[in-house]
Amino acid sequence: MWFGGTFDPQAQAAELGLIEPYKSKHIDEIVERFRDPAKTKGHYVSAIYMGILGFGVNTERLAKLGIKEVPKCWKDLTDPRLKGEVQIADPQSAGTAYTALATFVQLWGEDKAFDFLKALHPNVSQYTKSGVTPSRNAARGETAVGIGFLHDYALEKRQGAPLELVVPCEGTGYELGGVSILKGARNMDNAKLFVDWALSKEGQELAWKQGDSLQILTNTTAEQSPTAFDPNKLNLINYDFEKYGATEQRKALIEKWVQDVKLAK
């Protein structure tokens, strides 16, 4: 089984013939546009949650920098006063960061997206290996701003961190979390039962009722976490999972980011 994490790597595995298709009995309970969103059609990957991309701001650290207003937009993060005060993951290792990269390209087009990333670069203290690390570092006050999925920041805030969560003014993208069955799984019947459970009302609610996963649930009959954002009230792009989940597109954007941003002099 492959359970959780951003949708794109699972969709790419489906392209490569590494995933077994399975249409769950709960598929009609899932948000309609998320019922078969991968490029390879046939229910190879099922969407179990949605995570909103944004940033979390440590208001105490921001005050120490003498900045009175919390950033509200992506382009606010290029403010020179935030030099060395922003963290985001590395898209080579983290699906979170690739979702951000693909979001910027869909918001502004490739050229303007990379202009933004180049302007942001001097303010980035660290491109972390994991997508969740910036939220933890922002919560501890090690950085003023962390870019990532807002449910990670909501968890830190619930635990007492002085964080303000921001859905950027220009609009933003989102992840889908996936579940899939690996090709050649030895216990296929049980694997299918697990997918059914992961898509069910009970299975999805368990994530926040008994755990600390605060994402938006894809099952329309499930009760959402009290901290979950209502996607209908947000300025979200129509994220193209088919195009930006494709292997070649992902590879090209990441290589361009490495050469033009991370390693640029």
Q: How far apart are CA 139 and CA 59, in angstroms?
A: 10
Domain of residue 189 covers 2-50+174-230
38 and 117 in a single domain? The answer is no
CATH value at residue 69: 3.40.190.10
137 and 85 in a single domain? The answer is yes
> Residue 19 falls within a domain, yes or no?
yes
CA-based nearest residue to 146, from 127, 171, 172: 127
Pull the structure tokens for residue 12: 């790419």
Residue type, 28: D
Task: Let me know: does 102 contact 172? Beta carbons within 8 Å.
Answer: no
Q: What pTM was computed for the model?
A: 0.90
197 and 78 in a single domain? The answer is no
> Residue 121 falls within a domain, yes or no?
yes
Per the structure, the count of domains in the chain is 2
95 and 151 in a single domain? The answer is yes
> Residue 240 falls within a domain, yes or no?
no
92 and 62 in a single domain? The answer is yes
40 and 59 in a single domain? The answer is no
pLDDT of 210-241, one tens digit each?
988 889 999 999 999 998 888 889 999 999 99
Write down the residue that tokens 């794109």 correspond to: 8
Phi/psi-derived region of residue 185, left when phi > 0, alpha when psi is between -120 and 50, beta in every other case: beta
190 and 159 in a single domain? The answer is no
H or E segment to which residue 53 belongs: strand 46-58
> Residue 235 falls within a domain, yes or no?
no
pLDDT of 27-83, one tens digit each?
999 999 899 988 889 999 999 999 999 999 999 999 999 999 999 999 999 999 999
Helix axes 188-199, 201-209, angle to 10 degrees: 70
161 and 65 in a single domain? The answer is yes
Categorize the per-residue pLDDT at 145 as very low, low, confident or very high, splitting at 50, 70 and 90: very high
Quick one: what percent of the chain has pLDDT higher than 70? 100
> Residue 141 falls within a domain, yes or no?
yes
**Contacts by 243-251 with C-beta closer than 8 Å and gap 24+?**
243/39, 244/8, 244/102, 244/105, 244/106, 245/7, 245/8, 245/11, 245/12, 245/38, 245/39, 246/11, 246/12, 246/15, 246/39, 247/12, 247/15, 247/16, 250/8, 250/12, 250/98, 250/102
193 and 70 in a single domain? The answer is no
Residue 2: CB atoms within 10 A of its CB come to: 15
Q: How far apart are CA 169 and CA 211, in angstroms?
A: 31
> Residue 46 falls within a domain, yes or no?
yes
